[in-house]
Structure formats: structure tokens, C-alpha cells
Chain A
């Protein structure tokens, strides 16, 4: 069992002051093995905070990030899964699932983690799974007037990944889960 936190689009301090207190109290150091961050933190303080939660931190660049040296995209392997990260402002049309599928094929990954739209998504297509953890602070988005703070926790176990999405709705944290199984023959390189 490997826990991977997928989180992003916090937009601190430009659009939000901080993570919601209820999220902060849930995210404690030592429980998570990897952090995947889609970008738009935006400042070093947030980077340092994530580092305290887990030293294995992977970040890609969002268009408002203070540190312009984050990579445009990144791939990594966790257990049986290949994961890819890309913020998503580079993929046009924004939020378009087919265009994101192309990126997934290009990066050759089972799971693509992406952001930018501030809307939680987790769906499976022919080539794999696309996950958008949404905005952890519920930051202002031009995509939707209704942004709830959210983040994703993935539990990777063998050929199976369980995606837990945590959403803050009307002051309460709601959890949902989705199961994905990888077929052994799919994109194994």
C-alpha cells in the first residue's frame, strides 16, 4: 500500500490565503509516501510546507508559480504504475479530455495527473486514467463559479489504484472513492 497525495492549484497568496483548516489538520507528516503537485502553489512557503509532509515531492509548473524552474511535465513510476504530471494550461482546449488523452499517450503513462481547471475529475479512457485533484484551496477559477476545495489521495496496491477524493462542501469534508484496475498487458514497457 503506497499513499500518493495529488494536490494543486492552491494559488497562495494570489487567490487564497491558506489551505482550509480542515484539510490542514488531515494532512500530517509521515503518512504519505509521495506527493504529486500539479502546480500553481504559488510561493516557496507552500513548497516548503509540502516538503514537511513528505520529502518525495514532484511538482510541475503552473503559469503563476514563483519558481519558474519547475518542469513543464514529469513522469515517475510508483509500484506497477507509471504516472505523469502536467499542469494543463499548456493543453488546449483547457480541460478537454481528448486532448489530455493525447498527452497521456505522449508521456506513455497509466495515470495522468493534471490541473488548471480547479474541477475534480477522475475518469478512465482507453489509454489510462486522468485525474484532476481540483484546487486544494477552492481558489477562484474562470472555469466555474462554484469551486469547492479538494485534493486526491491515491492508494496504489499492485495493479489496483483506489482514488479517494476529499472535497470541502459547505464546511464539511466529504470523501468519495473510485477504483481503477490496470490490466497487466496494457502499456507495459
Chain B
């Protein structure tokens, strides 16, 4: 046997040299029309192919050299004017060659010409050759010899419409010939497995796979024969091929050939012979990777279904789905130790098939999912990541196909499959679902679907037992929760009754999310509820729903409960904002006490929970801004709230912030619409207070830094004076404004060493504004006229 590639190279070189040497003399003989010599040297040349020392790969190289030479020899044989011997006699003559292998190669070569000459029916010559080749039983030599036979006979088969068809020759003969050659080649191929010492099995399998296409070629030829129609395929070709496949009991051959059949023959044939094909599967060796074979078959059929809508009825007619489904079931049952990933891959292929062929049959889709659930139930804990990936693929397929999550939500087995995922993959799948909804802009509009949806994504909504919370990457967690927050806005129904149900379901699920999740989800829920409130307002008359929770008051109670949950986080700043939103909503519904209550909640949070100075500044502005817009309050309530707000403003940490907040409060006493409050005195009081604070700030800066402070504050206050002056606040006089301008100028001049260009420009543009107003003429012009610049 072989001792190493170096030796093999040497032997191959020797073989090639041998061929070339004899070929040289053969050519000489051909040139001089010397048949005898030609036969002698060609036989010697072909003897090189008798070697047992080469691996298939190297033997092939040797074979190709010989093949090239045989072509020239064939040309010579054909031209009987050169050698003067009839083809019949030639056929007899070459059989005198000494060794069987060269003899048979020569015989095949002459046979080719014999058929061409039509002096005998093609079928007879072919039959003779295919039987004679039995004389070579060595696997590699035999395979190449028969391959040569297949090669030269290819264009001489009595196919319909070929010149070789006749009364004696039919397509059946062609098919018989190819099938016989195929059968013999397969036997030789299988025999290779049992040759030689046992230890080199892997090497042997590699060598075998190098030769597989020689065997498969025959099937290819069969598929190309015109005369092999569906009928003949069904009655003759497939049964005989399958017979050989099953009987050879060799797993390598079985796998390759099953796959070959599937790839080589048309998809319509497969559909019509589905039962036969699938029936062979349980008969194969247990070590054959049947699931891959089935997967590839289903993939091919899926593609076929996708190619044109016309073929779909055929699928239904042959009941393809149930046949495949049963076959898969049998295979999985039979192979108890099939790893999970294998079974699930099969189901993925079947599902893809179903979605392509009968997407409207949701019961089929559900059935496949159900079968998968059954398989998964038998596995205590699925830990294989590849299997997980396949389950994700399984669950993603309906989403992609239907583009409408609602359809997937009707599949009863869908949530059951998800239950079998490990927590990480479950969350991944939940994200896939949410992304599908977002991408398709889907709207889920019924409470029961929302319930199913939230069941599916429960891994994101709350902590599941066994979840390793520490593992959570912060960025990922944020992304998850933001996705859930976005999702809430995709749940919507025009009907307030149904919408309320939806909100209650979302609330039920999100409220158990825990302090980490609430800050993300509460906002979405609150605004959803606020939108519902507006819907209610838009409706005429009272609506009485099942839960009778339709009155605005009840809605506000619901909102309060939701916002209160933030105290567990704690999230006072967010809660404050949400309370203020609710206050505005209550204002819109004209419910004074509820609005007051919300302000109270906001103020409590401000006093007790918001300590950061920057946060306080923003909070104050929000409080003032909201309060300014309230028109539902009676005098008492308004006074209380305003007093508080002004108090907070004056107690901010930084003087500049105090100043600004206080002059903002001036607007609380002046609302520009018809019945709005217009308390000129209190406006002025605020502005004066702001001035005092600005002065104090100025003095502090002088002491602390030896230089001027924020002159800008004065200019801001000046602008406010002008604002109210313009609005007609009698308490603000032009002389006050003038005085303020002078004050500012003084401050600026006194600080000439440290010019504040920003404040300069601000003052300049303010003065320009006054000028502009003066030039307006009319009432406005007159008013501003009194301000002397």
C-alpha cells in the first residue's frame, strides 16, 4: 500500500512517463497506418492504469493522460480506410489484448465507433460492454473504467429523437444501460470501504468522497435523457435507484446518493414521487444524516414554491405538507439520540416550506410549532446555543412572513415554544418581536392580543426566576427598556373602552417590573393614559364601560397610582414632571380640586426630594410655567400655590437663579387673556424683589471678587419692566424704566475695567427696541414716547 505522498508522486511520475513513452510509439504507428503496432503500444500504454499504488486523486491524473491518447486512437479506428479493418472485426481483434484492463478500454473505444457505425443496434453493444466491464472488480480501476464507458456512450444513447433510436432500440434500453452501469459502479464504490486494514478508515472515507461524483454522474445522465418523463421516472428510474441505495447499506453512499437524487432531478418529479422518496428514508442506515437530506429536500421544494404561484396547487394536490410532516415525525422518533439542534433545524425547514407553500394555513404553521414544543418538552434544559439559534429562526420566520405581529399572536403554540427558551434567548426573541412591530408600524388594538404580547415579552418586563440580574449590561438593559417604552405607543384603539382595557393590562404587567424598569415604562404609560383622557373629553356624553372607570376622576386616580409607583425607584424629578402634566390635564377637564391635588404632590416632591440645585432650578421653572397657565383655580387656591412658588424661587441657592425665578413669578400675576388675572401691583412687587436680589448679587460679587457681577440680570429685569409697561400695567411707570436704564449705565461704567460685552449688546438691543416702539406711532408710540433715553 501507499507509504507516503512522496512515493506516490514518484509512482505517478513513473506512470506518466510510461504512458508518454508508449504513446510516442503509438503515434508513430498511427502515422504509418500500422494497426498491429498501434494496438500493441496502446495496450502497453493502458497497462499503466493497472497500478494499485495510487490514491484516487493521483490515479485520475494518470487516467486523464490515457484518456487523451485514447481519443486519438479512436479517430484512427474510425477511419477504416487507414487500417482496412471493419469495425466488427476490430471489435473482435482488440479482445486479444493480454491483460483485461487494457482490453476493456480498447473494447469500449471500439464499441463507441461500432455504435456510431450503426452496424449493430446500440443496445446490444452497450449491453455487451456494461457486462464485460464486470471483469474488473478492483474498485478504483473499475470505477474509472466504467466512467470511461459512461463518457463515451453518453452521446450515443438511444434516446427519443436521437439517431440511435429505432425499433430495436428504445429509451428503456438507454435507461437500463445507465442504471446497470450505475449499480455496478456503486457496488465497487461501496466495496472500497471494506478494503485494506481497518485503521485507515478516515483516509478511506476521504478517498471515497473524491470518487463520489463518478458514481453520481450516472444519475445526472439519467436526468438528461429526454425520454425519461415523469412516468418513467416514477415507474422505473426512481424505484431502481432507491433499491440500490437502500440495499448497499453503506452510509456514505446512501447520504450522497439521496442528496444527489434530490439535486439532480426536477422538483416537480419530487413532488409527484414524494411518498416513495420519503419512504426510503426510514430504510437507510441509522448513521445517515437523514435530517440534512430532508432539510435539503424541503429547501428545494420551498424554492420551487416560491418560483411561481402556478405550482402551488400541485403541492396541495399531493398533500406535500402532511407527507413531509409525517416523515419528519418518523425520523425524529426513530433517532432518539438525535441532538436537539438537528430536530429543530428540520422543523425550521418544514416551517419555511409551509410559509412558502401555504402561508394562509395557520393551522399548519401552528402544527409545526406544536411538534417542536413536543420535542423541546422532552429535553430537560436546552443549553446548546446552536439549537437556540434555530429556535429563534423558527420563531422569527412567521414574523417575517406575515409582517403583522397580530397573525403570529394567534398561533397558540408560539408562546409555548418561547417558554422553552433560556432566559437570554427569550429576551432576544422578545426584542425581535418588538423590532418587527416597530419596523412594520403595526398597531395592536385589542386587549386580548396585548395580553398575549406581554406574555411573550415577559422576560423584558420583569425579573424571571433564575435570571442572573448582575449579568445585565447597562447599555443593553437600557435598550431593552426603551424598546418596551416605545412599544407601549403601538398599542392603541380608537374606542375608549378598549383603550382603557389595554392600558390596564399594560399597567398590570409593567407595575411589577421593579425599580430598575419603572423609570422607563411609567412615562409611556402615563402619556398613553393622558391621551385616553383626551379621547374621553372628545366624546359626547358619559360613557359607561364595564369597569365604570371611564370618568375623568377615575382616570386621574389611575394616573396618580401609576406615578406613585415611581417613589419606589425613587424618581422624584420625573414624578414631579408627570404630576404637573396631570395638573394641566385636570385644568383642561375643569376639575379644580384634582388639579390642586396634583400641584400639592409636585410641591411635596420639590420640598422633600429634590435637593440638587440645578434640578431645583428646572423644577421651579416647570412649576411656574404650569401654574401660569392654570385657569381653573379660584382665588384662594391660586394664592396659596403662587405664594409657595414665589417662596421656593426666592430660596434657590444661587442669587442669579433666585433673581430669574422671582421675575418669572411676576407672570403669575398677569395673564393676558380676557378673564386672566391682571394684578399690576403684585407684578411690580415681584420685579422689585428681583431687583433687590440682583443688587445683592452685585454687592456680593464686588466683595468676593472685587469686580462687578452679573449686569445682565438688570437688563433682563429692565426687559420685564418694558414687557408689563407695554401690556398696560399702570404700576410700571416710564420714570421707573428710565431710572433702571440709568442704573444699568452706572453699573456698566463703574466696571469699565471689566467690560461685559454680552450685557452691552443686550442693553443696546433693548434700547433699540424701545426706539422701535416709539417710532411705531399710534397708541404704542405715544406710550413709549414718555421714556426718555
Query: In the bound complex, do residue A106 and residue B716 qualify as a contact, i.e. CB atoms below 8 Å apart?
Result: yes
Query: In the bound complex, do residue B762 and residue A108 qualify as a contact, i.e. CB atoms below 8 Å apart?
Result: yes
Cα A94 to Cα B672 in complex, Å, equals 12
Residues from chain A with Cβ under 8 Å of B715 in the complex: 106
Residues from chain B with Cβ under 8 Å of A142 in the complex: 581, 584-585, 588, 629
Query: In the bound complex, do residue B765 and residue A89 qualify as a contact, i.e. CB atoms below 8 Å apart?
Result: no
Within 8 A of A (CB), among B617-674: 618, 621-622, 624-625, 628-629, 664, 667, 671-672
Query: In the bound complex, do residue B723 and residue A45 qualify as a contact, i.e. CB atoms below 8 Å apart?
Result: no
Residues from chain B with Cβ under 8 Å of A49 in the complex: none
Cα A151 to Cα B523 in complex, Å, equals 24
Residues from chain B with Cβ under 8 Å of A94 in the complex: 625, 628-629
Residues from chain A with Cβ under 8 Å of B624 in the complex: 92
Q: What is the size category of the interface that chain B forms with chain A? A: 35 or more
Against A, the Cβ 8 Å flags (1 = close, 0 = not) of B435-474 are 0001001000000000000000000000000000000000
Cα A40 to Cα B638 in complex, Å, equals 29
Interface size (A, Cβ < 8 Å)?
32
Residues from chain A with Cβ under 8 Å of B772 in the complex: 126
Q: A14-B524, A89-B625, A108-B758 are in contact. Are A102 and B723 (CB under 8 A)?
A: yes
Partner of B716, one of A15, A89, A90, A102: A102
Residues from chain A with Cβ under 8 Å of B588 in the complex: 142
Of A1-9, A16-24, A159-167, A172-180, the segment with at least 4 beta carbons within 8 Å of chain B is A16-24
Residue of B nearest to A101 (CB): B769
Query: In the bound complex, do residue A17 and residue B527 qualify as a contact, i.e. CB atoms below 8 Å apart?
Result: no
Task: Decide if A156 is an interface residue (CB 8 Å cutoff).
Answer: no
Task: Decide if B485 is an interface residue (CB 8 Å cutoff).
Answer: yes
Cα A127 to Cα B588 in complex, Å, equals 34
Residues from chain A with Cβ under 8 Å of B478 in the complex: 43
Task: Decide if B490 is an interface residue (CB 8 Å cutoff).
Answer: yes
Residue of A nearest to B578 (CB): A14
Within 8 A of A (CB), among B552-587: 577, 581, 584-585
Residues from chain A with Cβ under 8 Å of B629 in the complex: 93-94, 142
Interface SS, B side: helix
Query: In the bound complex, do residue B486 and residue A13 qualify as a contact, i.e. CB atoms below 8 Å apart?
Result: yes
Cα A14 to Cα B671 in complex, Å, equals 30
Distance in angstroms from A88 CB to nearest chain B CB is 9
Residue of B nearest to A44 (CB): B478
Residues from chain B with Cβ under 8 Å of A145 in the complex: 534
Determine which residue in B487, B490, B524, B720 has the highest number of CB atoms from chain A within 10 A of its CB, and name it.
Answer: B524
Within 8 A of A (CB), among B217-261: none
Query: In the bound complex, do residue A187 and residue B489 qualify as a contact, i.e. CB atoms below 8 Å apart?
Result: no
Query: In the bound complex, do residue B758 and residue A16 qualify as a contact, i.e. CB atoms below 8 Å apart?
Result: no
Cα A189 to Cα B490 in complex, Å, equals 50
Residue of A nearest to B670 (CB): A93
Partner of B621, one of A17, A89, A140: A89
Task: Decide if B273 is an interface residue (CB 8 Å cutoff).
Answer: no
Within 8 A of A (CB), among B710-734: 712, 715-716, 719-720, 723, 726
Cα A12 to Cα B523 in complex, Å, equals 11
Residues from chain B with Cβ under 8 Å of A187 in the complex: 761, 765
Distance in angstroms from B482 CB to nearest chain A CB is 5
Cα A64 to Cα B531 in complex, Å, equals 18
Within 8 A of A (CB), among B472-524: 478-479, 482-483, 485-487, 489-490, 520, 523-524
Task: Decide if A99 is an interface residue (CB 8 Å cutoff).
Answer: yes
Distance in angstroms from A7 CB to nearest chain B CB is 18
Cα A98 to Cα B715 in complex, Å, equals 15
Cα A92 to Cα B625 in complex, Å, equals 6
Cα A98 to Cα B721 in complex, Å, equals 12
Task: Decide if B530 is an interface residue (CB 8 Å cutoff).
Answer: yes
Partner of B489, one of A16, A68, A98, A99: A16
Cα A105 to Cα B764 in complex, Å, equals 9
Residue of B nearest to A11 (CB): B527
Partner of A15, one of B489, B664, B671: B489
Task: Decide if B766 is an interface residue (CB 8 Å cutoff).
Answer: yes
Cα A142 to Cα B715 in complex, Å, equals 31
Task: Decide if A63 is an interface residue (CB 8 Å cutoff).
Answer: yes
Partner of B490, one of A15, A17, A127: A17
Residues from chain A with Cβ under 8 Å of B618 in the complex: 63, 89-90
Cα A139 to Cα B761 in complex, Å, equals 37
Query: In the bound complex, do residue A92 and residue B716 qualify as a contact, i.e. CB atoms below 8 Å apart?
Result: no
Distance in angstroms from A81 CB to nearest chain B CB is 16
Distance in angstroms from B524 CB to nearest chain A CB is 6
Distance in angstroms from A90 CB to nearest chain B CB is 5
Residues from chain B with Cβ under 8 Å of A102 in the complex: 716, 719-720, 723
Query: In the bound complex, do residue A108 and residue B761 qualify as a contact, i.e. CB atoms below 8 Å apart?
Result: yes
Q: A21-B441, A106-B712, A126-B772 are in contact. Are A14 and B523 (CB under 8 A)?
A: yes
Residues from chain B with Cβ under 8 Å of A13 in the complex: 482-483, 485-486, 489, 520, 523-524
Determine which residue in A16, A89, A106, A126 has the highest number of CB atoms from chain B within 10 A of its CB, and name it.
Answer: A106
Query: In the bound complex, do residue A108 and residue B577 qualify as a contact, i.e. CB atoms below 8 Å apart?
Result: no
Residue of A nearest to B587 (CB): A142
Residues from chain A with Cβ under 8 Å of B479 in the complex: 45
Cα A94 to Cα B667 in complex, Å, equals 10
Within 8 A of A (CB), among B677-703: none
Residues from chain A with Cβ under 8 Å of B712 in the complex: 106
Query: In the bound complex, do residue B482 and residue A98 qualify as a contact, i.e. CB atoms below 8 Å apart?
Result: no
Residues from chain B with Cβ under 8 Å of A21 in the complex: 441
Query: In the bound complex, do residue A43 and residue B531 qualify as a contact, i.e. CB atoms below 8 Å apart?
Result: no
Within 8 A of B (CB), among A9-68: 12-18, 21, 43, 45, 63-64, 68
Cα A145 to Cα B584 in complex, Å, equals 12
Q: Which 3 A-B pairs have the closest CB atoms?
A: A13-B485, A14-B523, A142-B584
B residues adjacent to A (C-beta < 8 A): 438, 441, 478-479, 482-483, 485-487, 489-490, 520, 523-524, 527, 530-531, 534, 577, 581, 584-585, 588, 614, 618, 621-622, 624-625, 628-629, 664, 667, 671-672, 712, 715-716, 719-720, 723, 726, 758, 761-762, 765-766, 768-769, 772
User: Could you jot down 15 A-B contacts, CB within 8 Å?
Assistant: A12-B486, A13-B483, A14-B524, A15-B527, A17-B438, A63-B622, A64-B577, A92-B664, A93-B667, A93-B671, A98-B723, A102-B719, A105-B766, A140-B530, A189-B761
Q: Contacts A105-B719, A189-B761 given; 11 further ones with Cβ under 8 A?
A: A13-B489, A13-B520, A13-B523, A17-B438, A64-B523, A89-B618, A94-B628, A106-B712, A108-B761, A127-B768, A142-B584
